[in-house]
Structures are given as structure tokens and as C-alpha cells.
Amino acid sequence: MTDETAVDPQQIERRAYMAYHRDGLWDIFLGLIFIIYGIMIQVDQAAYMAIWFVILLPAIVKYKKSFTQKRLGYARFSEKREQKEKKNRVALTILLSFTLALGIIAFYAFTGDAGWQRWLRSLRLLPFGGVVTLIVAALGLLYGMYRLVLYAGIILAVFLAGHLFNADPAACFLLPGAVFLVVGLILMIRFMKKYPRSKETSPYDAR
Amino acid sequence: MTPGKKRDGGGNFSATEIDRIVHEPARLKILACLAVVRSADFLFLERQTGLTRGNLSSHLNRLETAGYVEIHKEFVDKIPRTLLRLTRRGRLAFDKYRHNMKQVLDDRPD
């Protein structure tokens, strides 16, 4: 911390909060989800894709607590920050509900042969790519993790290219997934080097 | 340090009124970190300030003696944690220090 920034509370608060998101775990999660989805499409088990999301999300949240907090320490942030977190969760819930509604519509696209169903099927994975782009970009903007906005751009570009060049749908997942996983692992290694796990207990614990 | 704001004959803020406990760079870092969170553990402060454990511990003792920082224990996810937080007095001292320093810098001749 430089002495110029030492008394700028807003900057200190933001820097301290953002340090928790520089551990690469969310990037690894996103990468794994994309790679697993790619493999599931490849082995023709795409219908079970959502199960992996439900399995991996709580696991990563639990692991994040032990991995990140043991290296970075624990802090209870300001009420203002906690209120912002609550608003973010509400916004994400609305967004995920919207996604679920779109998923149901997409499911019905395969149940009949009406005009709109044929049109939706002709778009192949493009609507899925659009929705994922929207979710990842929203996550990045809400939590100030701007690399996720870049990821959203990559997802959109890959899905658009996949649609235009009639590429293998699995590749549309595997390619961005590999990128996110590699970035996440690099971030994680950097984080572990910068914040090694402390073996000593706090001098205040004994009090 | 006298808590009241004093000015010299020329109307300028007197630099002798700067709180020496807060003015020390390491303690200023600690106070600035604690001012933006409700409470934090020792490791968080160690990481955010970049101070060594011994140094941090000694400055925290000084701040605790001055009544600027207090230690409390609470359960977080069923795990007991020892947390540090600014006292009301510590927050006032930090805010006053920032205000005074701004005034000292603003009042300097061009």
C-alpha cells in the first residue's frame, strides 16, 4: 500500500474486497462447467448438463471459504457493501429465473413442428450462447470482476463463429472452457504465491 | 494530543495538533483498513497492510492502549474468531486526522 492511497478509504475497501475475487476459483469453475458441458454434448448426454452446475457450485463456494479466507484473512465489510451484495443476489436471481424461462421455451422448441419451433431449432446453440453471455457479463458488472465481461465477449464470439461456420457444438464449449480454466489456474498460482497459507495463529487468539 | 482544533495567530492549522498515534505510517495503514470494514482478523490486517506479524502486533497494542482499537470474539460459520475493530474513539481520531491533514495541505502557500 502506498502512502498516497493509505488514507483513501474507498480505494482501500475496494482493493480489500476485490482481493477475494483474485483467487481464480470462479474462473476455474466457469472453465470446468464449459469443459464438462462440451464433453456431455460429445457423449450425447446434454440433457444432464445442469446437474453438474448444481454439483459444482456449492462445492466451489465451500472450497472458496477454506482456500481464500485461510490465505487472505477474514473481514466483515461495511453495511453499504453488504447491502450491495444483497441487491446483486436479487439481480442474479431475477436473471437466473429469466434464463430458466428461456430454457423452458427452448425445451418446447423440440416438442413440435410449428414455425417458431423450427426457427428456434435452426439457431442451434446461438440462443444458449446469448444467454450465457448475458449471465457472465452481468456477473462481471455486478461484482466488478471486469475480466468476466471479457469472458462474455469470448463466449459470444465463439458461439457466433460456431453458428456461422457450422462448427461442432462441443467445440463451442471446450474452447472457451479451456481458456477460462488456464486463466483461473494462473490466477490461482499467483494468488497462492502472493498469499501463502499462514501456519501461525494470531497472537490475539490466545487472549 | 489535544482533541480540539487550534489555529495559530495567522489563522492556519497548527501541525502540532496532528495526532501522533494516528500519524505513524504503519498505524495509519491499520486504522485506514479497519475504518473500511466492520471488523477483521489479524491475518486480514497483515495481508492488507503488508506489515510483518511482529510489527503489526506491536502497533495494534499501541492502538489498543490508546483506546482506538478493540478486540472481540465471535462465531463465524460456527468457528470462533478473534476480530479487531475500531472503537468509536478510534474512528473519530481517524476522521479528525484526515480532516486535519487535508486542512494542513489545503492551507499551504502556493
Domain ranges of chain B: 20-106
In a domain, A100, yes or no: yes
In a domain, A200, yes or no: no
Residue range B20-106 in CATH 1.10.10.10: yes
Note which residues in 78-107 of chain B have CB less than 8 A from chain A. Answer: 81-84, 98, 101
ipTM for the whole complex: 0.76
Cβ–Cβ below 8 Å for A74 and B25? no
Reduce the DSSP state of residue B62 to 3 states and report it: helix
Q: pLDDT tens digits, residue range B41-86?
A: 999 999 999 999 999 999 999 999 999 999 988 887 777 888 999 9
In a domain, A5, yes or no: no
Cβ–Cβ below 8 Å for A19 and B47? yes
CA within 13 Å, CB half, A6: 20
Note which residues in 15-44 of chain B have CB less than 8 A from chain A. Answer: 25, 28-29, 32-33, 35-44
Q: Which domain holds residue A22?
A: 10-194
Query: What single letter denotes the amino acid at residue A141?
Result: L
Within 8 A of A73 by CB-CB distance, chain B residues are 40-48
Within 8 A of B41 by CB-CB distance, chain A residues are 73-75, 202
Does the CA dihedral A146-A152-A158-A160 come out positive or negative? negative
User: Does the beta carbon of A204 lie under 8 angstroms from any beta carbon of chain B?
Assistant: yes
- pLDDT band for B108, please (50, 70, 90 cuts): low
- Cα separation, A86 vs A84, whole angstroms: 5
In a domain, A202, yes or no: no
In a domain, A134, yes or no: yes
Chain A: give the shortest CA distance to residue B101, in Å: 10
Q: pLDDT tens digits, residue range A112-159?
A: 788 888 887 788 788 888 888 998 999 899 888 899 999 999 999 999
Residue B6 has pLDDT above 60, yes or no: no
- Cα separation, B12 vs B10, whole angstroms: 6
The shortest CB-CB distance from B47 to any of A3, A72, A76 is to A72
Count CB pairs under 8 A between chains A and B. 91
Overall domain count for chain A: 1
